[in-house]
Structure 1
Amino acid sequence: MIRHTVSFALVHAEGSAEEAAFLARGREVLTGVPGVEDFQVSRQVSPKSLHRFQFAMTFADETAYRAYDAHPAHRDFVASSWEPEVADFQELDLVPLS
């Protein structure tokens, strides 16, 4: 199991229609990619981070994660939405300790 998370800050003003559209588009596109499980969008409530949001999802294994990463819908979202609209981000790919 891999838990893929990415926290991020957008170029859009807080509470703007553009911010809401980005988050909705991310949810719609990424949940449609095969292998994505337990997708969540979260909002940061601590002032300790400039990243206001997080996308998190789970993959059954490395094969599912690689298929997601290479999927055309994911690649298109990154190119058309993520790259122009995300100001900064931090990605973590985590596996449980046994």
Structure 2
Amino acid sequence: MIQHTVVLKLKYPKGSPEEKEFLSAAAKLKSIPGVHNFQSLRQIGKKNDFDYGLSMEFLNMAAYEVYNAHPDHIRFVKTYWAKSVEKFLEIDYKPIV
């Protein structure tokens, strides 16, 4: 199993139409084949300055690679991510055991 997580800060104010549009577009990523347990998350802690998180799981690295190359993912990155995200941290995990 691969756990793919991204924490991010948008260029737009919280509650703005642009924020809503970005989050709505991000939620559509869950329909890409191989994506499991998709979550769109709002940061509530004060230990970093990221505002949102996206989390999803893939059964294996092959499924993760299919997601990365999928036209809907590429379109999301070009259309929304590139213009909307101020900064981010991407972390991909797999179980130790």
TM-score over 0.5 for the pair: yes
Q: Does residue 45 of structure 2 align to residue 46 of structure 1? A: yes
- Stretches (4+) displaced over 6 A: none
Kindly state the Cα deviation for residue 17 of structure 1 after the two structures are TM-superposed.
Answer: 1.7
Percent of matched pairs sharing the same residue: 39
SS in 1 for 2:95: coil
Q: Any unmatched runs of 5+ in structure 2?
A: none
SS in 1 for 2:92: strand
Q: What value does the CA root-mean-square deviation take over the aligned residues? A: 0.7
Kindly state the Cα deviation for residue 67 of structure 1 after the two structures are TM-superposed.
Answer: 0.3
- What is the aligned partner in structure 2 of residue 96 from structure 1? 95
- Where do residues 38-77 of structure 1 align in structure 2 (5 Å cutoff)? 38-77=37-76
Cα distance in 2 for residues equivalent to 1:18 and 1:50: 19
- What is the aligned partner in structure 2 of residue 2 from structure 1? 2
* CA offsets 1:8-45 (integer angstroms, 9 cap, x no match): 000011121211111011102x1121100000011111
Kindly state the Cα deviation for residue 48 of structure 1 after the two structures are TM-superposed.
Answer: 1.6
Amino acid in the other structure paired with 2:18: E
TM-score (norm 2): 0.97
Q: Any unmatched runs of 5+ in structure 1?
A: none
* CA offsets 1:63-82 (integer angstroms, 9 cap, x no match): 00000000011001001100
SS in 1 for 2:48: coil
Cα distance in 2 for residues equivalent to 1:45 and 1:66: 31
